[in-house]
Amino acid sequence: MMLKPTFSFKGSLFSGIAIGLGCIVNLSCDNRYIGALLFSMALFFILVMKCQLYTGLCSNPKLNNFLFRCICTNLLGVACVAVPYGFAKPSIAISALAVTDGILAQPLLANIFFSMLCGALMCLATTGWKGNIDTNPLFSLMSVLYAIPCFVLSGFVHSIAVWGYGCLSLATATSISNAGSILLSMLISLCIFAIGNMAGSIIIRVILDRKEVA
């Protein structure tokens, strides 16, 4: 029987902040491989602190109310660091806009597929961590260090991270209405990406026959 986690506002907020920082660090690195590796530290700290990230918990769609509160708080945490940072460092905002434009320009079916692949890797990372942290800490760490750089370097779509890049890019808006249209398009796309992340995560959980959420 699935374990039902208790929602934690602080834990979900921290997870969003960690992903927001991961987006910033990734864009700040000239070497994309180092950037992808540093991005993985976001999930590492989320797991160590036992916080709640939507993409690490969405393999159980029955937790609909919990997941909705979790993703909303994750997005708030991301925005808390990404929006002001984008205005403080315009060069990062421009880079973030290029990332978001590239993702949104891809065909819908491609983005659904890429978000499913990201969800699958997130499920592997979180279940690998939770299932081995007490018996094989090195394998738990390697689960994270493999899965996260893989989805970053492969261009797979992580719903919370895409929101992070979108929030960073807000500084490039020429007006309030322009900023509003950017946010609206990101929110619509995010719903699709979040469903794709969930689908990929569920498929891996079913294949692995896991009885617990990560």
pLDDT given for residue 1 in this prediction = 46
Q: Kindly write down the DSSP assignment for every residue of 87-153, as one continuous string.
A: HH-HHHHHHHHHHHHHHHTS-HHHHHHHHHHHHHHHHHHHHHHHHHTTT-HHHHHHHHHHHHHHHHH
CB 144 within 8 Å of CB 6: no
Q: Would the CA dihedral through 159, 212, 63, 113 be positive or negative?
A: positive
CB 169 within 8 Å of CB 103: no
Half-sphere exposure of 203 (CA within 13 A, CB side): 15
What's the whole-number mean pLDDT along residues 33-41? Answer: 95
What's the whole-number mean pLDDT along residues 101-118? Answer: 95
> Please, which pLDDT band fits residue 210 given cuts at 50, 70 and 90?
low
What's the whole-number mean pLDDT along residues 149-174? Answer: 94
Instruction: Tell me how far apart the alpha carbons of residues 15 and 8 are, in angstroms, rounded to a whole number.
Output: 11
pLDDT given for residue 213 in this prediction = 44
> Please, which pLDDT band fits residue 209 given cuts at 50, 70 and 90?
confident
| Tokens representing residue 208 in the block | 């692995």
pLDDT given for residue 3 in this prediction = 59
| Tokens representing residue 135 in the block | 């018996």
> Please, which pLDDT band fits residue 176 given cuts at 50, 70 and 90?
confident
pLDDT higher than threshold 60 for residue 170: yes
Walk me through the domains of the chain, giving residue ranges and CATH numbers. 9-208 (1.20.1080.10)
Question: Measured between alpha carbons, how far is residue 16 from residues 44, 49, 139, 204 in Å?
Answer: 13, 13, 25, 24
Q: What is the pLDDT of residues 58-93, one digit of tens each?
A: 988 788 899 999 999 999 999 999 999 999 999 999
Q: Is 212 helix (H, G, I), strand (E, B) or coil?
A: coil
Give the predicted TM-score (pTM) of the model: 0.91
Q: What is the mean pLDDT of the chain?
A: 91
Top-confidence range, 101-105, 135-139, 204-208: 101-105
CB 168 within 8 Å of CB 86: yes
pLDDT given for residue 87 in this prediction = 95
- Lowest mean pLDDT across 41-45, 94-98, 131-135: 131-135
Place of tokens 């689960």: 143
pLDDT given for residue 61 in this prediction = 78
